[in-house]
Amino acid sequence: MEVKDAVIVDNLVKIFRIRYRSHLKARAMALLKPAPPIQEFTALNGITFNIPHGQTVAVIGRNGSGKSTLLCLLAKVYRKTSGVIELNGLRGGEARVAPLLDLSAGFHPELTGEDNILFYGAVLGYSPQEMRQKFDSIVEFAELGDKVQTTLRNWNEGARLRLGFSIAAHTDPDILLVDEVLAVGDEAFQAKCYRFIRELQTQGKTILFVTHDLRTVERVAQRVIWLKNGVICMDGEVSEVLQAYRLYSAEQNL
Amino acid sequence: MKEELAELWRYRQLLKMLVARELKVRYKNSFLGFFWSIIPPLMQVAVFSFLYRGVLGLPAKNLSAYLLTGIIPWSFFSSCILDASQSIVVNYTMIRKIYLPREAIPLAIVISNTVHFILGWVVYFAAFLVVAHFFNVGIPLVPSMVFFPFLVILEVILVTGISLYVAALNVFYEDVKFLLSTIFGLAIFILPVLYPADQIYYTSHLVRNHKWIFELYMLNPIASIIDAFRHCLLQSISPSNFNAKLKHAHALPFNPYVFTCSTVITLLIFWGGLTYFNKRKWQFVERP
């Protein structure tokens, strides 16, 4: 049986409608004037790429080039305007996706670390039993110790982010979507994150990450997609794309 | 619609966790904990009994059961809808970053409030069917009580519909919050919460001569459900208990036709809330 690529994106388009919050006063004034045309913003304008299983791809580009929009679309947070998105698991069927768009988004400050682990697990589609099995290893990886029994309210930001990364990384995803969050915690923890990502790579997981840190790209990625104004400007070998991108950035600075 | 239900079923574990989270977090930092779901209605009963008997000098006897059959459904209705109206906005950061079926958030609010609602009824039955009998003030078992579970379900359906609607609407117009708290603060006096619905019928000659005005009033689903709870759990009480001038007035019998019509309205509201939420749910993350 032919295995489908992990990520299939075909002619993906995302158009945002720019809305303004309307107050009564603004509405009343607007009645006197002709209605302004609906403003639209095309964040992604026909993106096409495939990622085979086991590949680590970095998405780079300037602010507002559509990187985060792309990740949000893959994570099903946004609804696409048109085009195709397919996420396939290694063993066929729909892929298990671990979205790391914001590491502490699913947490509730009034719950303990333990409850939050179970809750975040449920958000990612795992039962409490499954999370219990991974519990010790999650806590150990996040370097939490007994703190996991206290409410998150009193934790520092670093501890929350470590827990978020640890949970998402332990859920055995087929595809990992990472948005600028690898700069988590102190240097020692970062090194650990990279080791973990290496491990995921050897396990054949597919990783798609967005970053501005080109050194991270060199260290981790096998392929780079460069987005510019909602279209793919370049897609290929790490060194090749980075060279072109660095040249472009330098030009922009002149 | 089928798709949405399948998706919710797939995420049932998450729904369970959301409900557990609501229940856990609500009274977490309070000393009395769960008691806070039954203390407010009891205090309301005490204050309104004092108001009726002490201040207004009404002969109202055994008032607490009549008050509670209004206050328990009313507080579920009002507090659940208020909670739900805030639910999407409160969880906004999560919705923007993680996928989950959006319906799960207001539904979790409805379910956790339903738990408190049922708890309220458990306390009610425990108090009036068991404890109060030792003091000879209990309420007798009546055959119409078999309809009680049906009424609970009907109210949950009504509250779910309105909750979905206001949760979605509040994302775009936060006026909803202010509007609801204003309406709920006043509606308790106009709806048959603190007195039986008959009192509305007997307010003026106009209503008495044009019965349809009263029937129109009873089409309001929440008024009709509260009235049905009273008819189902308690024997009719003479209107003179709440208005000394109505010495010879008779309590009105339960009107099944109007109740059926208001049930249809409830189902329409449920369907409307579901449809509106569905239409709007992808715009939440792109709100202005």
Mutation target among A14, A18, A71, A77 for the B interface, most CBs of B within 10 A = A77
Is the confidence at residue B106, as pLDDT, over 90?
yes
Number of Cβ within 10 Å of residue A251's Cβ equals: 8
Highest mean pLDDT among A112-126, B5-19, B118-132, B269-283: B269-283
Q: Which CATH class is domain A7-96+173-253?
A: alpha beta
- Alpha-helix runs per DSSP H in chain B: 2-10, 12-26, 39-49, 63-90, 92-97, 104-125, 148-172, 175-190, 198-201, 205-209, 211-218, 221-233, 256-280
pLDDT score at A59? 93
Separation between Cα atoms, residue B21 and residue A150, nearest integer Å: 15
First to last CA, chain B: 27
Residue of chain B whose Cα is closest to the Cα of A77: B99
The pairing of strands A175-179 and A97-100 is parallel
CB contact at 8 A, A77 and B101: no
Separation between Cα atoms, residue A139 and residue B36, nearest integer Å: 34
Cβ–Cβ of A105/B28 closer than 8 Å?
no
Q: By the CB < 8 Å criterion, does A94 face chain B?
A: no
> What residues of chain A lie within 8 A of the CB of B286, using their CB?
16-17, 19, 78
Each domain of chain A, given as residue ranges in start order, spans 7-96+173-253
The three-point CA angle A19-B273-B232 to 5° equals 155
pLDDT score at B52? 86
User: What is the per-residue pLDDT across B126-181, written as a single tens digit (0 to 9) for each?
Assistant: 888 777 777 766 677 888 889 999 999 999 999 999 999 999 999 988 889 899 99
Pull the structure tokens for residue A146.
């007994």
Number of Cβ within 10 Å of residue B66's Cβ equals: 25
* DSSP H/E element including A64: none
* AA letter at A51: I
The mean pLDDT of B64-85, rounded to a whole number, is 93
Separation between Cα atoms, residue B45 and residue A214, nearest integer Å: 67
User: How far A132 CA sits from the closest chain B CA (Å)?
Assistant: 14
The mean pLDDT of B15-35, rounded to a whole number, is 82
CB contact at 8 A, B266 and B154: yes
Separation between Cα atoms, residue A61 and residue A249, nearest integer Å: 10
- A4 pLDDT band, cuts 50/70/90, is confident
Q: What are phi and psi of A22, to 5 degrees?
A: -105, 130
Q: Which ipTM value was assigned to this complex?
A: 0.81
CB contact at 8 A, A234 and A244: yes
**Over the Cα atoms of chain B, what is R_g?**
20
**Of B252, B181, B266, B268, the residue nearest B223 (C-alpha):** B266
Number of Cβ within 10 Å of residue B195's Cβ equals: 23
CB contact at 8 A, A231 and A11: no
Pull the structure tokens for residue A207.
């990783």
Separation between Cα atoms, residue B173 and residue A80, nearest integer Å: 25
Q: By the CB < 8 Å criterion, does B28 face chain A?
A: yes
Is the confidence at residue B19, as pLDDT, over 70?
yes
The three-point CA angle A150-A156-A161 to 5° equals 95
Better-scored residue on pLDDT, B125 or B243: B125
User: Is residue A99 exposed (0-12), middle (13-18) or buried (19+ Cβ within 10 Å)?
Assistant: buried
Beta bridge partners of A161: none
Cβ–Cβ of B21/A77 closer than 8 Å?
no
Q: By the CB < 8 Å criterion, does A108 face chain B?
A: yes
Q: By the CB < 8 Å criterion, does A23 face chain B?
A: no
Nearest CB to B21: which of A75, A76, A111?
Answer: A111
* AA letter at B251: A
The three-point CA angle A209-A89-A117 to 5° equals 65
Is the confidence at residue A191, as pLDDT, over 60?
yes
The SS3 of residue A227 is strand
The mean pLDDT of A45-68, rounded to a whole number, is 90
Taking CB atoms within 8 Å and a gap of at least 24, the contacts of B52-61 are B52/B242, B57/B244, B58/B241, B58/B242, B58/B243, B58/B244, B59/B240, B59/B241, B59/B244, B60/B241, B60/B242, B61/B241
Residue of chain A whose Cα is closest to the Cα of B14: A122
Is the confidence at residue A177, as pLDDT, over 60?
yes
Burial A155-186 (b: 16+ CB within 10 A, else e): beeebbbbbbbbbbbbbebbbbbbbbbbebbe
**Of B170, B279, B98, B275, the residue nearest A78 (C-alpha):** B98
Is the confidence at residue A8, as pLDDT, over 80?
yes
User: Looking up tokens 């108090």, which residue turns up?
Assistant: B127
Number of Cβ within 10 Å of residue B186's Cβ equals: 10
Separation between Cα atoms, residue B70 and residue B64, nearest integer Å: 10
Residue of chain A whose Cα is closest to the Cα of B15: A122
Q: By the CB < 8 Å criterion, does B89 face chain A?
A: no
Percent of chain A scoring above 90 in pLDDT? 17
Nearest CB to A105: which of B28, B98, B282?
Answer: B98
Highest mean pLDDT among A14-28, A168-182, B177-191: B177-191
* AA letter at A215: R
Cβ–Cβ of B98/A123 closer than 8 Å?
yes
Beta bridge partners of A86: A8
pLDDT score at A214? 86
pLDDT score at A165? 83
Mutation target among B3, B9, B19, B21 for the A interface, most CBs of A within 10 A = B21
The mean pLDDT of B265-282, rounded to a whole number, is 94
User: What is the per-residue pLDDT across A205-252, written as a single tens digit (0 to 9) for each?
Assistant: 899 989 888 888 888 889 999 999 889 999 989 999 999 999 998 888
Residue of chain B whose Cα is closest to the Cα of A128: B13
Separation between Cα atoms, residue B163 and residue B222, nearest integer Å: 14
pLDDT score at A22? 66
Pull the structure tokens for residue A177.
């979507």
